[in-house]
């Protein structure tokens, strides 16, 4: 079976042939390869599947098509003196490019193409009933059961599976880099836009908050007297979130949002928006503050679902304001001390152990009386 490459999807080669029952241009206006040639004009060989074929040009070359590879070819199909499909018409005189897969049915055209090498030309006869059945398309009225669809094929080029994978990988990486560069440029523009909007807001409200290096603005309303929040601390928060027009979008203090309970999370682990992770780390237990968070430090290009109290949710690229209270800070428990290293038991020799064994002294001989 052949598959036409087109970015993220593949289109069955045979489906194209079936769709050509209603050509984009009248048959007489289509650029044609070989003219309509009777099937009897060739001496055919037969494959085990029953597919009949004949080489018109057989040039010894390489490589042959392989599953997972890619081919380009010129092809025209016809049946009962009517052209069904032509790559010349479809691709404006250029070869069609297709991926190579296993045969989709017994007697599939790809069985012959797999025998060819670049420069070869061949003709083959495919069972019309099997072809249209595989394509899940109704056979035209001028084609009857038992008819053969005649294909003229000239194989132009062959790419191996490895080369296709390398090219696809390179194309994907290029696309990802271009997309990342585009997103970075758009994000930079949005930073400038958000900052201008916040500056205008502060000017209108006649106050000047503190700005951090990341672009977060904040004002401390109450300093707090407890422990300073640090990364990996468990913090308990009360909060109310606003849009720049003053409308609330969420709160754990307003009963309208139906979750009036302190909000607990571990700081610095990305479980909340970046503006929160950064801003709360500037506070002490008992402190109160207002954060003015540009969209890049909030939800960015992601929108958030709404609720009965805020049906529109949070639109993408929204600047968010939060009144927050740091209710409690709990530092993580220190890790247990490492176990003491095991000491090897040593056997200390005693003094007796170190003394040499006594050497027996022979008795003196007795003197004669």
CA atoms within 13 A on the CB side of 178: 6
Q: Report the alpha-carbon distance of residue 290 to residue 218 in Å, rounded.
A: 6
Specify whether the CB–CB gap between 233 and 266 falls below 8 A.
Answer: yes
Active-site residues, by number, are 239, 249-250, 273, 299, 322
DSSP-derived 3-state class of residue 344 = coil
* CA angle (328 as vertex; 232, 281 as ends), nearest 5: 45
User: Hey, what are 161's tokens?
Assistant: 């599976």
Element (H, E) at 147: none
Q: How far apart are CA 56 and CA 151, in angstroms?
A: 12
Residues 296 and 198: their CA atoms lie apart, in Å, by 13
For β-strands 148-159 and 121-127, DSSP reports them as antiparallel
């Amino acid at each position: 079976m052949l598959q036409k490459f087109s970015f993220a999807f593949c289109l069955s080669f045979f489906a194209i042939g079936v769709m050509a029952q209603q050509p984009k241009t009248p048959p007489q206006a289509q650029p044609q390869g070989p003219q309509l040639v009777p099937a009897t004009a060739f001496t055919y060989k037969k494959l085990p599947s029953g597919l009949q074929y004949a080489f018109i040009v057989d040039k010894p070359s390489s490589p042959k098509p392989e599953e997972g590879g890619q081919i380009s070819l010129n092809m025209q199909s016809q049946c009962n003196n009517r052209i069904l499909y032509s790559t010349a018409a479809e691709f404006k005189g250029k070869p069609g490019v297709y991926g190579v897969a296993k045969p989709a049915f017994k007697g599939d055209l790809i069985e012959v193409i797999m025998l060819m090498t670049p420069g070869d030309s061949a003709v083959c006869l495919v069972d019309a009933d099997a072809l249209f059945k595989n394509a899940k398309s109704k056979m035209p009225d001028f084609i009857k059961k038992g008819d053969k669809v005649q294909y003229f094929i000239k194989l132009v080029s062959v790419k191996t599976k490895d080369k296709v994978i390398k090219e696809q990988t390179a194309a994907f990486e290029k696309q990802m880099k271009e997309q990342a560069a585009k997103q970075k440029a758009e994000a930079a523009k949005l930073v400038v836009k958000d900052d201008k909007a916040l500056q205008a807001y502060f000017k209108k409200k006649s106050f000047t908050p503190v700005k951090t290096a990341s672009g977060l603005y904040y004002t401390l309303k109450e300093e707090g007297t407890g422990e300073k929040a640090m990364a990996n601390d468990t913090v308990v928060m009360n909060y109310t979130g606003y849009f720049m027009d003053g409308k609330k979008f969420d709160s754990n203090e307003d009963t309208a949002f139906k979750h009036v309970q302190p909000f607990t999370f571990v700081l610095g682990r990305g479980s909340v928006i970046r503006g929160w992770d950064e801003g709360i780390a500037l506070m002490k237990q008992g402190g109160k503050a207002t954060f003015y968070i540009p969209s890049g430090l909030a939800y960015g290009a992601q929108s958030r679902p709404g609720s009965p109290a805020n049906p529109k949710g949070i639109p993408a690229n929204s600047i968010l304001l939060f009144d927050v209270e740091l209710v409690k800070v709990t530092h993580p428990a220190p890790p247990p001390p490492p176990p003491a290293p095991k000491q090897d038991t040593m056997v200390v020799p005693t003094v007796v152990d170190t003394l040499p064994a006594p050497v027996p002294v022979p008795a003196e001989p007795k003197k004669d009386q």
